[in-house]
Amino acid sequence: MLIAEPERKPINLLRRMLGSIELDVFDLPNEMGKSGPWLIIPGNDEEIDFGPTFYMGAAKNITIPEDVSSIQSAVKAYDPGHNSNVIIEYLDVMANDLSHPGWIYLRNLWDNFGYLPLSTFEIWKALAKNHKALTLLLFKFEMNEEFIRRFDTEFSLLWEVIPLDYWLNSREQFKLSLENLGIDPKLVASQIKVMFEKFENSVSCYPEEMIKYLAGGELSPIYEGKQEKQILSFLVQELIREHSESAWPVHFKNELIHTAKELENICELIVYPHFRQAAVALYPVIAAAIAAEKLNFEDVFAPEAQSVFALKQLRDFEPQWFAPVYSYFISYFSK
């Protein structure tokens, strides 16, 4: 396949023959020497399976930023050694424009080559790092459940730290695009609600209350003074009671405690009896602060994939703790 033209039908490689016997050796068609870059891949229904292989062909290297005027040229310009950010940077351009023609490239790539691991293509990897573009793509894909599940499974992604403004901006762009076509606003609101229900079906870890908010609802109310402390204390006690015999994950305990101390009143609101409970107790608060853009993820956690796995352990240790506390502190940091 031509990497920059996923809409084109792939070219079949020519299998070598020994008399009437087919060999597992293939020759490259002459056409592959006339353009490029190419990706040599197994077909969706092929019996032979192998890892994708890059073939430059006759592609011209694009190294000057001014030459990158489309997602296709960004894909051609990508070089892990010298131009590793070109795709991510071009996604920044697309992230502000729902009607950008670059989304058609991604649609064709998914429709025609979605059977391959997503990590086969650098652009899916780049989307996992560019959350603003990712949220807009999900609207372009109308919250395709298979795509979301695949993306969630194949990439290290923490949905809970994606800034809420990214979701809200993408939702607004989608809403206006439909209303500009003359579609009744009530039908648009209904469509958005259905789309977020599909997202909820695909990402079970994302709190239901936040799904309702992103679909157009209201944030949780904020309690004041003594009532606030009583409610949070009750939730802490329920968490401890439920896991009195459990081995609590302690990843990033020190970083979470340090960050909590820098946020006003958090150490007074989330009180846990033992230091081994700190990571689980504080993670939903810190995640909410990141999503509300009171903190930057990189200022608290290391960006490596193993860090994401560790944070998922904290999140998933007790969903009945994470979901209400995360949702509450989204409201807390958004007031």
pLDDT tens track for 116-162? 999 999 999 999 999 999 999 999 999 999 999 999 999 989 999 99
Ordered by start, the domain boundaries in the chain are 1-59, 63-218, 225-334
Res 242: pLDDT = 95
pLDDT at 57 over 90: no
166-192 pLDDT, tens digit per residue, is 999 999 999 999 999 999 999 999 999
Res 63: pLDDT = 53
pLDDT at 64 over 60: no
Cis peptide before 37 (omega within 30 of 0): yes
Q: Which two tokens stand for residue 116?
A: 């391959």
**pLDDT level of residue 61 (50, 70, 90 thresholds):** low
Per-position DSSP letters for 60-97, written without gaps between them: PP--SGGG--SHHHHHHH-BTTTBTTHHHHHHHHHTT-
Res 181: pLDDT = 95
- Mean pLDDT for 74-86 is 87
- Mean pLDDT for 204-217 is 96
pLDDT at 235 over 60: yes
Measure CA 170 to chain center: 14
- Separation in Å, CA 179 to CA 126, 176, 217: 30, 5, 19
Distance, in Å, from the CA atom of 102 to the CA atom of 94, rounded to the nearest integer, reads: 7
Q: Which two tokens stand for residue 76?
A: 């051609």
Task: Locate all alpha helices (DSSP H) within the chain, ordered by sequence.
Answer: 71-77, 86-94, 102-113, 122-129, 131-140, 145-154, 164-179, 185-202, 208-214, 225-242, 253-262, 266-269, 278-291, 297-300, 305-316, 319-334
Give the length of the chain. 335
Res 128: pLDDT = 94
- Give pTM, 2 decimals: 0.91
Res 60: pLDDT = 60
32-45 pLDDT, tens digit per residue, is 877 878 898 888 87
Mean pLDDT score across all residues of the chain: 92
Distance, in Å, from the CA atom of 44 to the CA atom of 49, rounded to the nearest integer, reads: 10
